[in-house]
Amino acid sequence: MIEDRRLIRVLDVIEVPATQTQPALIAVINEWVQGHTLAQIMESRQWQPLDVDQAVGIVWEVAQALHRAHDLRIRHGRLMPTSVVMTDAAEVRIVGMGIDAVLLGAPHEDLIRSDVDALGGLLYFLLTGKSPFFATTVSTPDDPDEIPAAPRHGDYLASASDVRADVPGPLDVLIGRSMIEMKRPRGTAKIRNVDEFLTELTKIRDHVDPVAIARDSNVFISWGLRAVIGLAIVAGIGISVVAYRQLFVGTGTEQRQAAVAATPTPSPSFSLSTLPAQILPITSIISFDPFGDDNGDGNTDGISGRERDALAKNAVDASKTTSWKSAKYNSADADGKGGVGLVLNLGSPQSIASITVKFGEVGAPIRASVANTMAANPDQWTNVANAPAGKNRVTLRSPRVVTGQYVLLWFPKLPPSVQNPDKHQVRVSNVIVRGQQ
């Protein structure tokens, strides 16, 4: 069993006997998921492409989940824009892991190739609004609509940069190396497995500036279609049926044909709670050093405490070359203070789904919290999520949407300084907050 929240769990498989009007069915019952498929999100945007950082972030999450599954020799086999769901909490979830692979019955190597091809295809689709997938459709409350197809040059798909001129070169190359129907860029080798794809995408992701590229991230989806992935009632408990796999069983040789039946489509909802997260504006930012004693009076400074406050704005200025940096300390706990931090002011209480922090050097342990009024003690803020040290870029997500005007990024342990390893210092080059206005 794969323990990865991004993979929607199969709860049960139920055989539905044949009737006079329909053959035998297998109902694959999954955990309840409420959100929007990538196909529905793109359709709601009238097929306008996502910002580069959003597309990279989504596909990176999918690749991470597939990487874990492939390590256990579990493949997807039919990954498409309709297989990936963005939940109302801005989480990436994947439908059908292992199910389609079993039904297809293809060799493992073919399924690996299929999953790598699909990852490149998802990147292409989100960056261009054109689908490289064969005969992909999306169902809306009104009628099924075919996703716009990617253009072709002879036997090959046109490159992503041919469709959208500002696609970064490294992404264009990665897509070309991943997709079967894409002409491989000169001097490169095809991506052989999900691990290689993830490694290359991570390199690109670490150099994508989420703030600088986010041109119209405040319009992530223009209408709130609830993509509730089916519904069944078993023993009085609501669960989701994501697919019916239709089995045709002959009397002589056994024949099987996999088909996905249409799932019940709820009425569209225009509630803000149904919208995926968007980038929230940050009206101001300050450093936060509540346990310092700048005036030397023997008392901590509380909410007035600052730590190199003049540099705080560098953490949200969309520049790759500037950052906020703490003072340098002799110990990781900021010489006994227990840490330092930053406070972001969103201007008014906002529903917050995730916070992405990009460090200037070495990643530090981080605790993200929110409040409507600032408190001197970080423990008195409402915790959103925590992340350990190590990664240069982290996204902290709350299991539920939390509301607050102020966001506290607290660094309880400072990493060794790259320039002076005997000292400890944290540097933050970019912060982005996503939620619902």
Instruction: Give 146-211 as a 3 state SS string.
Output: ECCECCEECCEECCHHHHCCCCCHHHHHHHHHHCCCECCCCCCCCCCCHHHHHHHHHHHHCCCCHH
Please give the helix or strand (H or E) that residue 348 lies within, else none: strand 340-359
pLDDT digits (tens, 9 = 90+) for 387-429: 888 788 888 887 666 899 999 999 999 999 988 889 999 999 9
CA 76 – CA 227 distance, rounded (Å)? 21
Q: Which residues pair with 166 in a beta bridge?
A: none
Backbone phi and psi for residue 244, each to the nearest 5 degrees, phi listed first: -105, 125
Contact 343, 283 (CB under 8 A): no
Q: 194-205 and 169-178 are packed helices; what angle lies between their axes, rounded to 10 degrees? A: 170
What's the pLDDT score for residue 244?
34
What's the pLDDT score for residue 252?
33
Residue with tokens 């491989």: 184
Q: 108-128 and 169-178 are packed helices; what angle lies between their axes, rounded to 10 degrees? A: 150
Structure tokens at 89: 């909490």
Please give the helix or strand (H or E) that residue 427 lies within, else none: strand 427-436
Q: In what order do the strands lie in the sheet with 34-37?
A: 92-94, 84-87, 34-37, 227-228
pLDDT digits (tens, 9 = 90+) for 266-294: 333 323 333 445 788 999 999 999 999 88
End-to-end CA distance of the chain: 38
> Which residue ranges form the domains of the chain, and what is each CATH number?
10-213 (1.10.510.10), 280-436 (2.60.120.260)
What's the pLDDT score for residue 202?
93
Q: What is the pTM of this model?
A: 0.54
Structure tokens at 79: 């990954």
Torsional class of 227: left (φ above 0), alpha (ψ -120 to 50), beta (otherwise) = beta
CA 200 – CA 433 distance, rounded (Å)? 25
CA 155 – CA 136 distance, rounded (Å)? 19
Spans in the chain with pLDDT lower than 70:
1-2, 100-109, 134-146, 208-277, 399-401, 437
Nearest to 395 by CA among 435, 337, 345, 437: 435
Alpha-carbon torsion (158, 160, 164, 167), positive or negative = negative
What's the pLDDT score for residue 405?
95
What's the pLDDT score for residue 108?
59
Contact 82, 39 (CB under 8 A): yes
Using CA atoms of 421, 326, 202, 368 in order, give the dihedral in degrees to the nearest 10.
Answer: 130
- Sorted by sequence, the CB contacts under 8 Å of residue 174 that are 6+ apart come out as 120, 123, 191, 197, 200, 201, 204
CA 7 – CA 2 distance, rounded (Å)? 8
- Sorted by sequence, the CB contacts under 8 Å of residue 171 that are 6+ apart come out as 52, 56, 123, 127, 160, 204
Residue with tokens 């197809």: 149
Contact 35, 88 (CB under 8 A): yes
